[in-house]
Structure 1
Amino acid sequence: MIGLALNSQTPPKRHYPCMNPNTQLPFQPDIQGLRAISILLVVLCHANLFLFGGGFIGVDLFFVISGYLITGLLLREHQGSGRIQYARFIGRRLKRLLPSLLAVILATTVAASFVLSGFELREQMGSLIYAITWTSNLFFAFSDADYFAELASKDLFLHTWSLGVEEQFYLLWPLLISLIGSLGITGHKPSVVRFLGFLFFTSLALCVYQSTQNSLYAFYLMPMRIWQFSLGALVYVIFQDRPLTTHSTLMRLAALLLIGLSSILFSPEIGYPGLWALAPSLGAALLLATSGSNTPSAFLSHPLLRWIGDRSYAWYLWHWPFLMLGPSLMGGSPTLLMNLLLAAGALAASALSYRWIELPFWRGPLSQAAPGRTILVSMLAMVVAASAGLLQINARTPPSTDPVQRVIAQARTDLPEIYSAGCDSWYYNAEVKACIGGNPSADQTLVFIGDSIGAQWYSALADIYGDGQWRIEVYTKSACPIVDEDYFYPRIGAVYAVCKEWRDNLLAQLKTRRVDTTIIGSSGTYDFSAEQWIQGSARILKTLSKISNQVLIIAGAPELSKDVPGCISRTYRNDPKSLATPTNICTKSIADTQAPVVAGYLAKSTGLFPNAYLLNLNDLICPNGLCLSLSEQGIIVYRDSKHLTDSFVRSRVPEIRARIQQLLASAGTDTAPPSD
């Protein structure tokens, strides 16, 4: 199969009016300038330059460019010879892309093994094999890894998802062009346009639909992205012989404005890609439609932009590992200046790899290898690279080497038992499901409602109310605020409608009952205004205060700036004695968090109801205003940057019990939890 050529019924060497049969596309300097803009937007976005928060659209521009160029190459080849040599096409792609990819992956693996701690290495390099085989987009889509989420965004090869989409496009597109050829329509422009238009609208419809149902699929998967490649293909077919020349300067300015505004105004919160992705994609298409004119854009053809455009692939490969690993090497938390310096360092690395790795395989003597040999050697190189990478990771993360590091790693999965019991259906459905604890037949009932930040206190409440006199009902949904406000959930790229439906269903069920105590809790990091926090919480309390003798709101725990287990692990590795002084390790002042502010809002909400109370436990997490990563007893406090470990929560049961008893006693209630 390696030497297979995709034949059609089209006779060879026939000239079609649709396009020039020369198999080589003419050099268009504008396109290199557009590549430069694309990579600059991506890099500046990842460097956290606030002005370009939507710079991730640069990837969309790359997709449109690829559709334009690859379609041109394939159609010209088909018209020149009557067939497409599939193996030769794939071989060219491999020689162009694989050497640099493997070089960056291996260099990143070696560097990471010295920068990261053992368990961080495993966490942040989970996509290694998938990145090597151009399937990381599938890995991230089906492992619920959100491109914009905290832990997922630390994967050292997260950026290779777009390379996976591109490579899958390369595998499919020659087959589709060959299909066009077998139908005998490659020389009939309207038929080709209709075929590509069908792909465009079908894929776009799928993308928009999935953006509302599962944004990870819409973001990562090739079928939901192929409309952008089809758009580039349409531009080639329609405009390659007759580019837009009338008012071309004005149209280029409009296209650049469309791209620029998208990069400035867009953010993950808009539900990307969806229809939003049309804006930058159409901007790229308009630039491509004018790129073949006799008056190339002076801006896009500028030598500096062309130089960056030539190295755009290499810079894309290098920039993410530099930004991820650089701060640890340079010491301190990443700043804008540090990120820009690291991005510049990645550009220097890309210039070297372009000169000594990319060019020799792409255009040098090594480019002359036969297609079959290229494919076989490439497959072998992937296997060797994957094996070498895994060996390096395993060598740096041997089991049972250091008991302290093992304990630190275990903090990541130090969860309350409600998760292993399947109590949380997350964003998948709105079913109200109670997990029952305590004594199911007890006369007194505690209802506990919360998102994952609220639910982290479950083990303490189960202990406090676990004397056999209480039935404990747990209702939890991660990332669902117990606040009567719509919430845009970046992970799914849409308003969290399932959360609202679940919350409304739960309150409707509880309205028909009478319970003794209700305790609710949410994260304090939701992007609500003061009015939304106060009034949204009050609407929840209005219902619960009518069916409960008393309602307690647990204030949201402070969020730290760093992933705590990772920070502790690196600190300990660099200085094993550092754990003796936990107040100096990975701490943050509570005043620098939203927690005190949101606690104030919740206090105003509870003040509106005589039987509602605020239970603020944050001084247990942040004694003297300093949020600790290690407690005085040496217990790891957080399992990431925002969720408490179950071990820490259990260690604070006596204090929490006393707080609840004191709070309810001062209110004169007779349903306080039992004494220890």
Structure 2
Amino acid sequence: MTTVQSAPDVDVLDRVTPARPSAPTKPSRRREPRGFRPDIEGLRAIAVVLVVLYHAHLAFPGGYVGVDVFFVISGFLITRHLVKAISRNGIRALPAFYGGRVRRLLPAAAVVVVATVVAARLWAPVLSVPGIATDAVYSTFYGLNYRLAALGTDYQHMGAAASPLQHFWSLGVEEQFYLLWPLLIVVLMVVARRRAHQVLVAVVVTVVAVSGWYSVTVTEHSAPWAYFSLHTRAWELGLGALVALTARSLTAVPQRIRGGAAVLGLAAILLAGLTYTDSTPFPGYAAWLPVGGTALVIAAGCGTRVGAERLLSEPLMQCLGRVSYSWYLWHWPMLVIIPMGLGHQLGWIERAGVVWLSLVAALLSYVLVEQPTRTLRLPSVAWLGVGAGLSAAIVAASVVVLAFPPSSTGNGAAVTLAASDSATSTVPAVMRDAIAAGTKTTQAPRNLTPRPAAAADSLPGDRGTGCHAEFTQVQQGACVFGDASAKRTVVLFGDSHMEQWLPAFVAAADRDHWRVVSWTKSACPAAAITVRNSSLQRTYTECDQWRRQTIARIGALQPDLVLVSQSETVVPGDVSPEDFAAATATTVSRIKAATDGEVAYLQDIPIPGKNLPECVASNLDAVDSCTYRAGKAYSYPHRHAAIAPAMKALSVRTIDTQPWFCTASECPPVVGNVLVYRDDSHMTVPYSTWLAPLARSVLQTTKG
């Protein structure tokens, strides 16, 4: 988010083109556009208040549109500044421009990033620290937006704690734009010469049209990439640039019309902030309301003052506008890290206190960092060197944290988890005793596997093969595991809560000569319910399509056994237990109708309700504090209870998995030397493999 303010400006491209002799004309009503724009300073204030209150969950459920307001402002100011500088100095203006960007943006950002990394090392959850340090490196080189886009489409990161540096994504978009835009302007002004203005306007219109089209189409298919990418956001900066290029013509618009446009623009921004929510597909078509509103306000102020400027020019608005960059930088890390240090989530009064505290930090940052560096006179090349030095300092701090992360290795005695060699439908005594012993474990064993820091990577062997379909994937291969030449076949059907059983059933299949076919899909319930994918921010049509196609493939395969399982939390909470069970029964009935083999339902595993690897890593000498009650093992207990009767009505065998994880009263996070969960709802590969004897019992009791 850039808050540069240019010197008084005119439409330079109009001056660059030599005047042609012409007949006398009537005096033009056009005036030179104004230089300093207090209305833009006020717009910054509105934008930052929207963002801060949205992040603090205090007001404006659509306050994220404040970032879009900043994009339009930046496109306007930067284009106005560049056209003027390049028309005077040609390509020699570029070093001054980039040096100015470093001077304006990097010192304050560097202070915030280093302070955040240090604070994270002291107070953030143990397993979050390496990720935050990595984010710092990406932030330094303005690439965090693409890291977040990639993580946003990764199902394994859904629900992960927000990074305290996540807000740097918008700076990444702007800096990527700043890297390319000046070069394009230089080329066009050199090549086009006399028609530089017309050509540049045509190029900007093209950028707005193409990027706007990408914004809409990509939002429909992959919301994270649409939200964070330059090519889907460039149109917002481009619209600001278009206002800058037409500023002189806009001065001829009657004041009454411009005044109405300014009011309409402000209303559009506030309407978006008040009515949009996290479920609004964004940017897409929805972004046109705040972006168009911002462009209207800026365009209206290109001539004489209009009525809306009285509000935007108020001293408080001007003050908040001046410190908006620093406030944007400080508010989010403080909202994320302070609860970590306090050890609890903040109530609304505490969040309001953090907002005020972040404003104080912004004022101090403005006075002690922004103002001194802005007035420091150094050659442009020297500022580029300063930028390199500041970036190196951030990287060095991040590397130190990555090299010396908080320990996640236990101090307890090494132990070996006893395994059972028998296949039985009830939990063997040796396994039952190990689970009970886990509830009494206090110190994490030093040979704990996987280590909490590596738990997230404890994924079944089908990952990366296309056999576990990600969000937009529908087609899958044969996906054969276990004994490929075996005569008997079992199909695993469901979402990632079915996929996590793959290691157990592959181990069982190897012993009893079964072939395992695994067809699963991320966040796609087995129940015949159309769901909304929160990551894609749209209806999950691929899930319905995959479910239909896979049932047809099961019918063609005619396996001996189809095992169905699913997460009970993917389906929205407003779906009743009865409707969930009925929708599950619908799918199971379709599978039964498609195959002559047996169908069995594997109940969902107990859900801890918290990230257990993180809990264990933070309590290595008190892992029993991470034990959770068996009576609270399911987020939707009534939904869970409704499944068994529905399956019984279909004569479908139902397997209760809770005793495989819990005693009658408690569920441990560590059993023997094995970490049970890789996150807050999926078991690790070693634990799944340990349950192979119970998986064998499922195969051996299959009829036929």
Secondary structure of 1:326 counterpart: helix
Within 2, Cα distance between the matches of 1:10 and 1:281?
26
Pairwise CA distance, 1:357: 0.5
Percent identical among aligned pairs is 27
Counterpart residue type for residue 597 of structure 1: H
Equivalent position to 2:72, from 49, 64, 75: 64
Does the 8 Å CA contact 2:647/2:653 hold for their aligned counterparts? Answer: yes
Q: Residue 42 of structure 1: CA displacement?
A: 2.0
Q: How do 1:489-568 residues align onto structure 2 when only pairs under 5 Å count?
A: 489-528=533-572, 529-530=575-576, 533-546=580-593, 547-557=595-605, 559-568=607-616
> Which residue does the alignment assign to 1:43?
52
Deviations 1:584-620 (A, max 9, x none): 327477658533233245346435523x244342455
Report the more deviating stretch, 399-408 or 97-106: 399-408
Q: Does 1:74 align with 2:115?
A: no
Q: Measure the CA separation in 1 of the matches of 2:155 and 2:562.
A: 36
- Other structure's SS at 2:468 match: coil
Asked if 1:181 corresponds to 2:189, the answer is: yes
CA offsets 1:109-147 (integer angstroms, 9 cap, x no match): 111111235543112322222211222223333565679
Q: Distance in 2 between matches of 1:187 and 1:588?
A: 74
Residues 1:196 and 1:154: Cα distance change in structure 2 (over 3 Å): same
Aligned CA distance change for structure 1 residues 204 and 124 (closer, same or farther; 3 Å): same
- 2:663 and 2:410 map into 1 onto residues whose CA distance is 33
Query: 1:227 Cα shift?
Result: 0.4
| Secondary structure of the corresponding residue to residue 490 of structure 2 | strand
Aligned to 1:617: 657
Distance 1:112 1:629, change over 3 A: farther
Query: 8 Å contact 1:117–1:570 — kept in the other structure?
Result: yes
Of residues 309, 316, 322, the one that matches 2:328 is 316
Match of 1:436 in 2: 480
For the residue of structure 2 that corresponds to 1:273, the secondary structure is coil
Per the TM alignment, residue 488 of structure 1 is displaced from its structure 2 partner at its CA by 2.7
Check if 1:391 corresponds to 2:409: no
Q: Return the TM-score normalized by structure 1.
A: 0.84
Return the letter of the residue paired with 1:434: A
- The whole-number CA distance in structure 2 between the counterparts of 1:478 and 1:157 is 27
**Equivalence map 1:16-55=2 (5 Å):** 26-49=35-58, 51-55=59-63
User: 1:259 Cα deviation (Å)?
Assistant: 2.5
- CA shift, 1:441, in A, is 3.4
Q: How far, CA to CA, are the matches of 2:627 and 2:45 in structure 1?
A: 38
Counterpart amino acid of residue 483 in structure 2:
N
Pick closer, same or farther for the CA change 1:639–1:398 going to 2, 3 Å.
Answer: closer
CA–CA distance in 2 between the matches of 1:607 and 1:147?
Answer: 32
Q: Which residue of 1 aligns with 2:300?
A: 290
* From 593, 612, 636, the counterpart of 1:595: 636
Q: CA deviation at 1:356?
A: 0.2
Aligned to 2:132: 124
Identify which range, 197-206 or 316-325, moves more after superposition: 316-325
What SS class does the counterpart of residue 154 from structure 1 fall into? coil
Q: Taking structure 1 as reference, are residues 649 and 226 closer, same or farther at Cα in structure 2, changes over 3 Å only?
A: same
CA distance in 2, matches of 1:472, 1:440: 8
2:681 alignment partner, one of 626, 629, 642:
642
171-180 or 349-358, larger mean C-alpha shift: 171-180
Give the corresponding residue for 2:241: 233
1:352 Cα deviation after fit = 1.0
Deviation at 1:300, TM superposition (A): 2.8
Q: Please name the residue that 2:312 is paired with.
A: 300
Q: How does 1:633-672 map to 2 (within 5 A)?
A: 633=672, 635-653=674-692, 660=698, 670=703
CA offsets, 1:289-327, max 9 Å, x none?
Answer: 233442343433333232222211112211222122211
Pairwise CA distance, 1:95 = 0.4
Change in CA separation of 1:644 and 1:337 when aligned onto 2, cut-off 3 Å: farther
Bigger CA drift: 368-377 or 630-639? 630-639
Retained in 2: the 8 A contact 1:21–1:76? no
SS of equivalent to 2:311: coil
Residues 30 and 252 in structure 2, CA contact (< 8 A), matched pair in contact too: no
Gap change, CA 1:429 and 1:185, over 3 Å in 2: same
Mean alpha-carbon deviation: is it higher for 446-455 or for 394-403?
394-403
Deviation at 1:635, TM superposition (A): 4.0
Residue equivalent to 1:674 = none
Which residue does 1:5 correspond to in 2?
A: none
Distance 1:338 1:508, change over 3 A: same
Mind listing any 5+ residue stretches in structure 1 that lack a counterpart?
A: 1-7, 672-676
Please tell me whether the aligned partners of residues 18 and 237 of structure 1 are also in contact (alpha carbons under 8 angstroms): no
Contact 1:450 / 1:520 at 8 angstroms: preserved in 2?
Answer: yes
| Preserved contact between residue 482 and residue 540 of structure 1 (Cα < 8 Å) | yes
1:48 is displaced (CA, Å) by 3.4
3-state SS of 1:518 partner? strand
Residue matched to 1:196: 204
Instruction: Please give the secondary structure, in 2, of the residue aligned with 1:31.
Output: helix
Taking a change above 3 Å as real, the CA distance of residues 319 and 212 of structure 1, as seen in their structure-2 partners, is: same
| Cα RMSD (Å) | 3.6
Contact 1:43/1:343 (CA < 8 Å) preserved in 2?
yes
Q: Hey, what does 1:570 align to over in structure 2? A: 618
Report what 1:341 is aligned to.
Answer: 353
Q: 1:482 matched to which residue of 2? A: 526
Q: CA deviation at 1:449?
A: 1.1
Aligned to 2:433: none
Q: How many residues in Structure 1 have an aligned counterpart in Structure 2?
A: 643
Following superposition, the deviation at residue 162 of structure 1 comes to 0.9
Other-structure match for 2:269: 259
Question: Structure 1 286/152 Cα, relative in aligned 2: closer, same or farther at 3 Å?
Answer: farther
Pairwise CA distance, 1:105? 1.0
> Do 2:71 and 2:174's aligned partners in 1 also have CA atoms closer than 8 Å?
yes
Change (3 A) 1:290 1:376: same
Q: Which amino acid aligns with 2:688?
A: V
Residue of structure 1 equivalent to 2:216: 208
The Cα of 1:540 is off from its aligned counterpart by 1.6
